[in-house]
Amino acid sequence: MSGRQSRPPGRRSGGDVPTLVGRAREGDPRAVARLISLVEDASPRLREVMAALAPYAASAGDGEGAQVIGLTGPPGVGKSTTTNAIVGALRRRGKRVGVLAVDPSSPFSGGALLGDRVRMQDHALDRDVYIRSMASRGHLGGLSWATPQALRVLDAAGCDVVLVETVGVGQSEVEVAGLADTTLVLLAPGMGDGVQAAKAGILEVGDVYVINKSDRDGADQVRRDLRSMLGMAERPAEAWRPPIVKTVASKGEGVEELVDALEQHWTHLVDTGDLQRRRVRRTRDEIEAIAVTALREQWRGVHEHDALDELATEVVAGRSDPYAAADALLERLDGVDTTPQGT
């Protein structure tokens, strides 16, 4: 089998981080699962995990690392079925594949059905396919907050391609475009008309467009609408031209052509340097998100500060305004420990 690294027989994973990372590098699925669980649970060992994985980042290892492909689109277009079909096509090409399928969390119980994984049981026994369902846990944008770190785990574990399937919540689900090397947008006949195709949102972020269920009436019209929309976009002559691929994923029709398009985009990214630029941009976003989270944690005691009540009273009485009060609060808290007592 071709790929970045062959897998040895499974072993029992150790509990300490260096052992887990070593086992994951060898392809032990239990170690990979444990590391991603540490990420999802925001374990106190998360910093240690990320530090241990850093030497195995793409730029520090064999070059480009894993191609991250994001799949997004409205509910009902067949994202899970398409993901399953792509995995099969990639495996026939000798690729080791990771899948992160994000499912919506219940706003009441916090749980998730994790049904996307159920639809991928064709590959459940393949040791060169790792499938992980992740609950969104209220995170907006179609992803889980832990997705970037989970991608680092799968990259270090030697996956050639990682597929990230989003929740499927409609046009606002564009966060995946900032996370993936290649964004695949799925549509299907009957999901909207030409006006729908021109709306802002997920139809502006695609590198490859897929019209799934193309054996249904209206597939050609969807294709014409997409072509019209893409034709209105101003692009430099050397820019990537997003292809439109028609598939019937449930029957495997058009899937090989789709994977060809994904590989062509990957080649374009590497040859033009866009891959490095995209990855620097998304890592900037990741660092910023971690820093903002740390600041929020550091300032979680502000709500209990006496100055906040005083300033709020001033604003209510009309003697100040919210912006001036916020500036005053920052001045008072500058250099003050804002952590509540007892934490």
Q: How would you write the pLDDT of the chain (343 residues) with one tens digit per residue?
A: 444 544 444 444 446 899 999 999 888 999 999 999 998 888 889 889 999 988 887 654 456 789 999 998 888 889 989 999 999 999 999 999 999 987 654 444 444 445 445 556 677 778 899 998 876 544 444 345 678 889 989 999 999 999 998 865 444 456 677 789 999 999 999 866 544 544 555 667 889 999 999 999 999 998 998 888 888 877 787 889 999 999 999 999 999 999 999 999 999 999 999 999 988 988 888 888 888 878 877 777 677 777 888 999 999 999 999 999 999 988 887 755 544 444 4
The whole-angstrom separation of Cα 81 and Cα 318 is 58
The whole-angstrom separation of Cα 79 and Cα 84 is 9
Judging by beta carbons within 10 Å of its beta carbon (0-12, 13-18, 19+), is residue 45 exposed, middle or buried? middle
**Per-residue model confidence (pLDDT) at position 155:** 92
User: Which residues does 184 contact at the CB level (< 8 Å), separation at least 6?
Assistant: 69, 70, 71, 72, 206, 207, 208, 209, 210, 258, 262
Give the predicted TM-score (pTM) of the model: 0.80
**Per-residue model confidence (pLDDT) at position 268:** 96
Nearest to 94 by CA among 120, 129, 119: 129
DSSP code, position 230: H
Specify the amino acid at residue 297.
E
The whole-angstrom separation of Cα 199 and Cα 291 is 33
H/E stretch holding 80: helix 79-92
The angle at the Cα of 297, spanning 296 to 300, to the nearest 5 degrees, equals 80
Q: What are the start-end ranges of the E strands in the chain?
A: 67-72, 97-103, 129-135, 161-165, 182-187, 208-211, 244-246
**Per-residue model confidence (pLDDT) at position 55:** 85
**Per-residue model confidence (pLDDT) at position 336:** 54
